[in-house]
């Protein structure tokens, strides 16, 4: 028996024992069916956010060949851009313009006071999501022109170090502009779909549904773009062989520009949707999310957008389901990285390894 086969057997046996314990625990009442179902729903929502943000990171790596450590701060920037517009639309004429655009840094201006929800202020939410995506795309394109383009021929390491500098600069620019205060962004009154299980309820509210619909629509849009458009085909060709793409007349600089903009737009949208889901925003949530995004991309296979999506869902669901056996907090994060390590021990290239960009 080879080492890979032995590892596969051990991991499979461990998964079988955990699933067996879960099944027996549900049957004898040790574990609540409704609680397990809630963990699965929350994990799916969290996984959609990680996967959506991971697509941009994976695209950047497959075409530019460097790990962008500023990607988490693109998530945060997009959230602030979008929520500034949401506050402005929802609170127009009721509060100071500056306070609204800065996402209510003073008391008396917040999601509760402005009654921001997808049902009561749908135009504000949709406008914010649009600005989060488009605004972040343009912002990331500007950063590329200033910071990355002059160093593009220097290799992956200088670009990686530059991205770390960009990450720190963005993080503290956000603190300077928006302050370091955590604030609430939405009102608590939401309609929900309540599903009765054997021992309790599982609820999916309007913001959960908005996240699911928006994330799936954006992922489907990226899929169609890569498979059906000239831009997508050029991206796939460039990720396979940049030199050959250049020789065949593909405008590589234009492809790089669109890669940054699409990746940035998806990151900004993911940030906006995460704030909509959690109901709070702060200056470093994207940075804290970055390690999980990296874990999802590596787990799925670096360079594969489908791997990023599947990896995000795997990370999100496993983190939340692990709370059946473990306390919350940092223990759930450990679970995500443990799964990544176990998968990489069996498949070093990741679950979708070798399938770049598409």
Same domain, 8 and 122: no
Q: Does some domain include residue 358?
A: no
What percent of the chain lies above the pLDDT cut of 90?
45
User: In angstroms, rounded to a whole number, what is the distance separating the alpha carbons of residues 32 and 35?
Assistant: 5
Q: Does some domain include residue 108?
A: yes
What range defines the domain where residue 9 resides? Answer: 1-30
Model confidence at 50: pLDDT above 90: yes
CB 304 within 8 A of CB 126: no
Say what the pLDDT of residue 196 is.
81
Same domain, 188 and 138: yes
What residues does 194 pair with on adjacent strands? Answer: 203
Write down the mean pLDDT value for the chain.
Answer: 87
Q: Output the 3-class SS for the chain.
A: CCHHHHHHHHHHHHHHHHHHHHHHHHHHCCCCHHHHHHHHHHHHHHHHHHHHHHHHHHHHHHHHCCCCCCHHHHHHHHHHHHHHHHHHHHCCCCCCHHHHHCCCCCCCCCHHHHCCCCCCCHHHHHHHHHHHHHHHHHHHHHHHHHHHHHHHHHCHHHHHHHHHHHHHHHHHHHHHHHCCCCEECCCCCCCEEEEECCCCEEEEEHHHHHHHHHHHHHHHHHHHHHHHCHHHHHHHHHHHCHHHHHHCCCCHHHHHHHHHHHHHHHHHHHHHHHHHHHCEECCCHHHHHHHHHHHHHHHHCCCEHHHHHHHHHHHHHHHHHHHHCCCCCHHHHHHHHHHHHHHHHHCCCCCCCCCCEC
Q: Does some domain include residue 355?
A: no
Same domain, 303 and 323: yes
Say what the pLDDT of residue 32 is.
82
Say what the pLDDT of residue 153 is.
76
280-281/183-184 β-pairing = antiparallel
pLDDT digits (tens, 9 = 90+) for 189-208: 788 888 888 777 888 999 99
Model confidence at 87: pLDDT above 60: yes
Q: Does some domain include residue 125?
A: yes
Same domain, 127 and 20: no
Confidence of residue 110 (pLDDT cuts 50, 70, 90): confident
Model-level pTM greater than 0.85? yes
pLDDT digits (tens, 9 = 90+) for 303-337: 888 999 999 999 999 999 888 887 766 678 888 88
Q: Give the pLDDT mean for 17-41.
A: 83
Domains held by the chain: number: 2
Contacts of residue 117, defined as CB under 8 A and 6 or more positions apart, other chains included, come to: 125, 186, 187, 189, 190, 206, 207
Task: Say which CATH number the domain at 187 has.
Answer: 1.10.3470
CB 83 within 8 A of CB 186: no
Same domain, 26 and 169: no
Q: Does some domain include residue 352?
A: no
Length of the chain: 358
Confidence of residue 147 (pLDDT cuts 50, 70, 90): very high
Q: Give the pLDDT mean for 68-90.
A: 94
Same domain, 142 and 194: yes
Same domain, 128 and 14: no
Same domain, 127 and 1: no
Say what the pLDDT of residue 151 is.
85
Q: Which among 24-33, 148-157, 163-172, 347-356 has the top mean pLDDT? A: 163-172
Q: Give the pLDDT mean for 204-223.
A: 94
Q: Which of 36, 357, 66, 306 is nearest to 197 (CA)?
A: 36
Q: Does some domain include residue 354?
A: no
Burial class (CB in 10 A: 0-12, 13-18, 19+), 346: middle
Same domain, 1 and 90: no
Say what the pLDDT of residue 20 is.
83
Say what the pLDDT of residue 328 is.
64
Burial class (CB in 10 A: 0-12, 13-18, 19+), 19: exposed
What percent of the chain lies above the pLDDT cut of 70?
95
Same domain, 252 and 143: yes
CB 302 within 8 A of CB 58: yes
Q: Does some domain include residue 351?
A: no
Same domain, 16 and 129: no
Same domain, 20 and 44: no
Q: Give the pLDDT mean for 1-13.
A: 73
């Amino acid at each position: 028996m080879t080492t890979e086969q032995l590892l596969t057997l051990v991991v499979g046996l461990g998964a079988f024992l955990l699933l067996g314990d879960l099944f027996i625990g549900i049957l004898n009442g040790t574990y609540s069916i409704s609680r397990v179902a809630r963990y699965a729903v929350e994990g799916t929502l969290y996984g959609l956010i990680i996967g959506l943000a991971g697509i941009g990171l994976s695209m950047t790596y497959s075409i530019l060949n460097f790990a962008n450590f500023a990607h988490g701060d693109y998530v945060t920037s997009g959230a602030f851009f979008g929520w500034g517009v949401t506050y402005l639309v929802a609170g127009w004429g009721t509060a100071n313009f500056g306070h609204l655009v800065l996402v209510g840094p003073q008391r008396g201006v917040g999601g509760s006071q402005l009654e921001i929800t997808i049902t009561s202020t749908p135009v504000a939410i949709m406008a914010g999501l649009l600005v989060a995506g488009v605004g972040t795309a343009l912002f990331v394109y500007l950063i590329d022109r200033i910071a990355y383009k002059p160093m593009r021929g220097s290799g992956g390491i200088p670009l990686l170090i530059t991205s770390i500098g960009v990450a720190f600069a963005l993080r503290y620019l956000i603190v300077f502009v928006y302050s370091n205060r955590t604030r609430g962004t939405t009102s608590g009154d939401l309609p929900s779909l309540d599903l009765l299980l054997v021992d309790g309820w599982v609820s999916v509210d309007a913001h959960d549904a908005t996240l699911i619909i928006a994330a799936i629509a954006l992922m489907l849009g990226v899929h169609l773009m890569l498979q059906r458009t000239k831009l997508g085909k050029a991206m796939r060709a460039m990720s396979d062989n940049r030199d050959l793409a250049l020789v065949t007349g593909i405008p590589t600089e234009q492809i790089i520009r669109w890669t940054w903009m699409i990746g940035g737009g998806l990151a900004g949208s993911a940030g906006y949707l995460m704030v909509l889901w959690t109901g709070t925003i702060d200056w470093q949530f994207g940075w804290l999310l970055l390690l999980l995004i990296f874990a999802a991309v590596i787990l799925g296979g670096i360079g594969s957008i489908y791997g990023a999506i599947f990896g995000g869902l795997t990370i999100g669901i496993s983190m939340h389901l692990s709370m059946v056996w473990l306390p919350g907090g940092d223990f759930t994060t450990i679970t995500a990285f443990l799964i990544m390590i176990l998968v990489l021990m069996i498949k070093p290239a990741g679950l979708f390894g070798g399938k770049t960009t598409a």
